[in-house]
Amino acid sequence: MERTIIKSENFNAYFGNNHVVKNVNIEIERNKVIAVMGPSGCGKTTYLRCINRLHELIEGARCDGKMLLNGQDVYSMHPIFTRLKIGMVFQRPNPFPNLSIYDNVIAGYVLNGIKMSKSDKNDIVEKSLTSAALWKEVKDSLHKKGTFLSGGQQQRLCIARAIAMEPEVLLLDEPTSALDPISTSSIEELLKELKNNFTLIIVTHNMQQAARVSDKTAFFYMGELVEYDDTKKMFTNPDDIRTQNYITGRFS
Amino acid sequence: MQAHIKFRVAKSKAAEIILIVLAFFVTAPLLFIIYYIFQKGIKVISWNFLTQLPKPVGEVGGGIVNALVGTGLIVLYASIMAIPIGILCGIYLSEHKSSKLAYFSRLCVDVLQGVPSIVIGIVVYFWIVKPLHTFSAISGSVALAIMMLPIIIKSTEETLKLLPASLKEAAIALAIPYHRVITKVLLPCGISGILSGIILSVARIAGETAPLLFTAFGNPYLNTSMLKPMQSLPLLIFNYATSPYDEWHDLAWGAALILLFTVLLLNIITKLTTRKWNVQL
Ligand SMILES: Nc1ncnc2c1ncn2[C@@H]1O[C@H](COP(=O)(O)OP(=O)(O)OP(=O)(O)O)[C@@H](O)[C@H]1O
Ligand SMILES: [Mg+2]
């Protein structure tokens, strides 16, 4: 299999006339954790939402350039295929409030009308919740509504829901920004586990977190991809002065 | 300083009293109406009243079963027509907040809500009654359905608009096709608001008389064919109350009590549905 899984070529994204992501070129390797960093408003979320084509749902939003998944442009596929292969975890936990914990995990199957045997469902639920480090806490209350969980548990439920679909890539937009340190570290542990099976792209404002979990780091500034390199190098000896300033805290 | 604060406390006390008095003025007429109708109507209510046909003038007894069945059928057919269209239209308006067509439809819904019911009755008379050369229950249903539409559309639209965008994105990010996002996620999450809009719209039209005057028209006999004239509670009340006979006045009070009770019940059911089906977001 090819090592590169996602590749952007001259990729741009706009909100109306507001040019938010500017000419991004990047190659992301399989089974790595990539941290995306940069000051607030620099277009990290927007770039992430272009990868699984959520960006285009916003009125007036558009994008151009190439976004390749395994060499195929996601913008020439049906968006449903793209989203089957690229899962997403949002900044705020958003379990389906009308579904139980159990049904939330298999929501991607159930809501798609895919018929499965009871035992297949049970297997997927247990496996996904175990990978999301949530199984032990909820195994006795699987039929309660997902919204009864704490924020951190809800976020892990959303991760379980995304990985239950077995995507190739998992996008995580500041998945721990609303969580306490304990939930955060359990999610970080989880990310390290998950990279055996998935490619993870994680937006974070937390530099320690980026340093702890990621193999490579991409630094965005004002919509441009300033630098993309091994995390170690980015944090010790970045090439670009803007990266250096950001990492040493000279601007936020 | 002290005096200043005392003055403020007194002011807030005064405001409170004024509010209580105003609240009383709002509820008093309702309680009075309920009491009055109950007092007048309760004496004719009996099993026979609910199950028998009206008797000719002069004979004692007689019931309103034709009107009960008629109102039931007319409202049922009106709901069958209005609910699907209303919900679909509400979905469209909430999904397309700023398209030209949505703007125009929203305007139409607002205007429709303000059209006097008698005007709707006349229009349906020319649309359906005249071409078919007969008064018919179904034409009454159409008139009532037109009145239900704006209520259902508005409540569906407002309910769906209140759902957070993140909910829809969660579903879309799971590769769920758009029509399933609506039917499996958005509608179930907004079900309590949509249901209560529907029940309220039924409560609202159950007592409408004007649009039925020259559509369903009324019928002294029990009729279950939607293509023939049909009796209904409000028409019966109208006819009996304006008649010169005391026995008929009593029947009108009884029918009014039943109608009032039904509407109250529907409102209570609305409250319960909102509570029972509410999805905690
Ligand atoms: N829905 C929207 N409509 C219009 N403009 C938007 C919208 N969302 C974001 N923007 C604009 O796009 C720019 C980039 O936003 P984006 O959310 O991608 O930033 P970000 O890097 O994720 O920031 P943060 O770290 O605060 O999450 C911002 O300047 C913002 O003004
Ligand atoms: Mg963001």
Strand partners, A64: A12
Q: What lines the ligand 1 site, CB under 6 Å?
A: A 15, 18, 20, 38, 40-46, 58
| A200 three-class SS | strand
User: Which bound ligand lies closest to the C-alpha atom of A39?
Assistant: 1
Which of A81, A90, A112 lies at the smallest CB-CB distance from B169?
A: A90
How far apart, in whole angstroms, are the C-alpha atoms of residue A128 and residue A115? 18
Q: Whose CA is nearest to atom 29 of ligand 1?
A: A41
Say if residue A252's pLDDT is above 60: no
pLDDT tens per residue across span B175-222: 999 999 999 999 999 999 999 999 999 999 999 999 999 999 999 999
Residues 32-61, chain A, touching B (beta carbon < 8 A): 52, 54, 57, 59
- Residue A80 is predicted with a pLDDT of 93
- Residue A251 is predicted with a pLDDT of 59
- Residue B1 is predicted with a pLDDT of 65
Q: At what angle do helices A151-164 and A181-194 cross, to 10 degrees?
A: 10
Residue ranges per domain, chain A? 4-247
Q: Report chain A's mean pLDDT, rounded to a whole number.
A: 92
How far apart, in whole angstroms, are the C-alpha atoms of residue A22 and residue A9? 11
Say if residue A246's pLDDT is above 80: yes
Fold category of A4-247 in CATH: Rossmann fold (3.40.50)
Q: Whose CA is nearest to atom 3 of ligand 1?
A: A15
Say if residue A49's pLDDT is above 90: yes
Region A219-243 average pLDDT: 93
- Residue B83 is predicted with a pLDDT of 97
Q: Name the more confident of A49 and A184.
A: A49
**Are the beta carbons of B170 and A94 separated by less than 8 Å?**
yes
CB A89 within 8 A of CB A171: yes
Burial A51-64 (b: 16+ CB within 10 A, else e): bbbbbeeeeebebe
Q: Does B176 touch chain A (CB under 8 A)?
A: yes
The CATH number corresponding to B66-276 among 1.10.3720.10, 3.40.190.10, 3.40.50.720, 1.25.10.10 equals 1.10.3720.10
pLDDT tens per residue across span B33-58: 999 999 999 999 999 999 999 888 77
Q: Which of A114-118, B59-63, B230-234 has the least mean pLDDT? A: B59-63
CB A134 within 8 A of CB A160: yes
Residues found in chain A: 252
Residue ranges per domain, chain B? 2-42, 66-276
Q: Which two tokens stand for residue A69?
A: 């998944």
CB B194 within 8 A of CB B258: no
Q: Whose CA is nearest to atom 2 of ligand 1?
A: A15
Q: How much is the pTM?
A: 0.88
CB B214 within 8 A of CB A204: no
Q: Which atom of ligand 1 is nearest to the CA of A42?
A: 21
Going by their DSSP bridges, the two strands A61-69 and A4-15 should be labelled as antiparallel
How far apart, in whole angstroms, are the C-alpha atoms of residue B201 and residue A212? 58
Residues found in chain B: 281
Q: Interface pTM (ipTM) of the complex?
A: 0.91
